[in-house]
Structure 1
């Protein structure tokens, strides 16, 4: 089989060389060209028609976000973003994932960086996924954000909000008037998840009589930016979860990168979040299975469980256990809209899925079953 053709885009000569060397260590890939900015990348994509692209974000003349948007319009191609590990880099990466990037990898800090080996492994792993991804799905299933009727500023996509008091959920001592929780929605996702979550969370009504807890496989910093972005496009109040937060109806909580998130009873109708650094499960921390398993003892709650796009099988066994324990709703995203049909497929194969739904059908179904 001929090797997959890869285009490397970065404004640094050093980084272009380093990334090219990483990619060509795998005989299944061939770097067919390099570009130093987004404008060059767009032209080379038209000429070379690569199977996948690695794309820097900050570049002169045309940055990676603008180049990505044009490429997805004129020549849809799987793109892996090379992101800095700063908070600004994380915010821009979330935008890139919404615009159609398949995934991202944190940029290595140098040739003697201790994380260089890990970056190489991740890059090759994600390129193998990317070259098999049908990005035409992005065209057939565009992210559409409904208008937000309540008084909540929605920044332009390039102006994601910083953390403010508005984005902080108070702990128990400040929530004496909190609504009693009788239902809960739990969502697990991985590769392709930020775009899928944007679609789903932005279409859930703010008066939802249940909290929503979310595990997205993502490193630290990026989950905070994801929560802020989701908060800006949703009627729900979305935050990155913190230890001891008390769950509130109409709120959504994103597990912080690098930590497991679980839910525990804290009194009649009151539930709190626990964050831990326990060992990774199946290579994941946060783990969807660990979140789902924490809901097993909470049989007094009506539990609504969702698995969306992602590699592997995290969450499938947890969904099966919850279905057997009386979960009211189990939903798996359908193959037609998944960027990677792994986690939902695993659940379907375990025969624990009540509803297989396209991405755009998930929010209406949740509103129907939770609000009835």
Structure 2
């Protein structure tokens, strides 16, 4: 072992009077670097910690996790710690929380059967059902891994492990069984996009990309959504003091939402690049399709918008819940990957056929008639948290365009759009609802179906074709 400099002796004792797991937990929480040497009946083993992480163990001829669990199984003996002593190698990559839980489970299996405790307080630690969200953090920066770990409170989240690159993460996933993975984009050995593709193939799990979400990074972030990522979060290092608490709340919320997604809907969108087409001749606006997408809606829109036919006499309006800068970047990305023109909606836009307008859920959009033109009127939402932007736009369309409108409700975590969709049906329009089993989050679709039992339930990858069928049938 590497022993440069003078090492200080920490603490000593016997395992008859104290649990080794308690000692390790105390050292890990305190971020201690130490070597804990345990002796019993001529046997000796050592567990090494570096900055609060268990990184190596050795006992006789064995090392790594096998040695760690062997030492943890010695219920008696003596121990001492040597502060600051570090190993020459790191043979353990799993988090200390996971290691201690597994050690408790093994000890419980080896112990005689006991009567069931009456309350969780009386149960052995390993028997208490842990309902926290299990998170695996993947980032090449140890500082970033720690920064992310500190964001997730221990009441609702359990950090089951961390990895410095995609290859390590793929090795850890089967044993750690995380509920959600946070995945950095730029990493050595195996980058985030390559890792994401393998996750989707080998063991589909809700994965949230950790991205700076700058204009330069937008393309790779949305590529990740196309390959199956649920969402993206900003890196903690980019949080300003002014909005730090709000950003932390948002990150926690995104991970909580990700943990609820349907595994069947976590998949790679296998779509080729769509070439831009141009409308031949003059086409008058005859139809309007209005979509609403919340959490998980990026993936649905990536299946729908690139497949829309630009030669239809229809305009497309999308209310998308997301930060304004994300909606801006997504409009640019969709425009590059779609047959139709996609642009960010602006106040006073004349609604034209062959164009898809993206409206942020943080603003209210209505339709106003101006001669032969329909104009978009945008105002900042007074109560963005109430999520009524889609209802307002659809009700406005029902009044101005009535039976020449189709409303589409996609994945999301609110009920926005359900009242507007119902109004469209009453005015003679059509209603489509993404089938809940293909939604990353079902609340929005389920709320729409409760209000609109005449809506057509349809999978996200079939919506573009159905819109085409409805518009052509109306035109004929």
Q: TM-score range by the shorter chain?
A: 0.7 to 0.9
Q: Equivalent of 1:143, from 256, 269, 276? A: 269
User: How far 1:178 moved relative to its partner?
Assistant: 6.4
Please tell me whether residue 84 in structure 1 is matched to residue 212 in structure 2: yes
Which stretches of structure 1, 4 residues or longer, exceed 6 Å deviation after superposition?
A: none
User: How far 1:26 moved relative to its partner?
Assistant: 4.2
SS of the equivalent of 2:365 reads strand
> How many Å separate the matches in 1 of 2:435 and 2:389?
21
What is the aligned partner in structure 2 of residue 12 from structure 1?
Answer: 141
Structure with bigger RCO (C-alpha 8 Å, 6+ apart):
1
Q: Deviations over 1:298-337 (max 9, x none)?
A: 046611110011111111111122222x142111111121
What is the aligned partner in structure 2 of residue 280 from structure 1?
Answer: 383
C-alpha change, 1:314 and 1:249, in structure 2 (3 Å) is same
User: How far 1:371 moved relative to its partner?
Assistant: 1.2
Please tell me whether residue 58 in structure 1 is matched to residue 160 in structure 2: no
C-alpha change, 1:181 and 1:120, in structure 2 (3 Å) is same
> How many Å separate the matches in 2 of 1:276 and 1:83?
29
C-alpha change, 1:228 and 1:20, in structure 2 (3 Å) is same
Please tell me whether residue 67 in structure 1 is matched to residue 195 in structure 2: yes
What is the aligned partner in structure 2 of residue 165 from structure 1?
Answer: none
Listed as ranges, the gaps of 5+ residues in structure 1 are 153-176
What is the aligned partner in structure 2 of residue 156 from structure 1?
Answer: none
User: How far 1:368 moved relative to its partner?
Assistant: 0.8
Which moved further from structure 2: 255-264 or 63-72? 255-264
Retained in 2: the 8 A contact 1:182–1:300? no
C-alpha change, 1:68 and 1:337, in structure 2 (3 Å) is same
Retained in 2: the 8 A contact 1:65–1:96? yes
Retained in 1: the 8 A contact 2:148–2:236? no
User: How far 1:348 moved relative to its partner?
Assistant: 0.6
Retained in 2: the 8 A contact 1:280–1:287? no
Q: Deviations over 1:42-76 (max 9, x none)?
A: 22224422111112222233322221111111121
What is the aligned partner in structure 2 of residue 354 from structure 1?
Answer: 455
More strand by proportion, 1 or 2? 2
Q: Deviations over 1:62-92 (max 9, x none)?
A: 3222211111111211112222131123322
C-alpha change, 1:182 and 1:277, in structure 2 (3 Å) is same
Please tell me whether residue 321 in structure 1 is matched to residue 423 in structure 2: yes
SS of the equivalent of 1:242 reads coil
C-alpha change, 1:266 and 1:196, in structure 2 (3 Å) is same
User: How far 1:274 moved relative to its partner?
Assistant: 2.3
What is the aligned partner in structure 1 of residue 288 from structure 2?
Answer: 184
Retained in 2: the 8 A contact 1:178–1:248? no
SS of the equivalent of 1:59 reads coil
1:199-278 equivalence runs, <5 A? 199-256=303-360, 258-268=362-372, 270-278=373-381
Aligned residues between the structures: 342
C-alpha change, 1:52 and 1:148, in structure 2 (3 Å) is closer
Q: CA RMSD in A?
A: 2.4
Q: Deviations over 1:178-200 (max 9, x none)?
A: 64322100000112211111111
User: How far 1:252 moved relative to its partner?
Assistant: 0.7
Retained in 2: the 8 A contact 1:263–1:274? yes
What is the aligned partner in structure 2 of residue 158 from structure 1?
Answer: none
Q: Deviations over 1:141-200 (max 9, x none)?
A: x52436646569xxxxxxxxxxxxxxxxxxxxxxxx964322100000112211111111
What is the aligned partner in structure 2 of residue 97 from structure 1?
Answer: 225
What is the aligned partner in structure 1 of residue 257 from structure 2?
Answer: 129
> How many Å separate the matches in 1 of 2:422 and 2:442?
18
Retained in 2: the 8 A contact 1:184–1:210? yes
User: How far 1:243 moved relative to its partner?
Assistant: 2.3
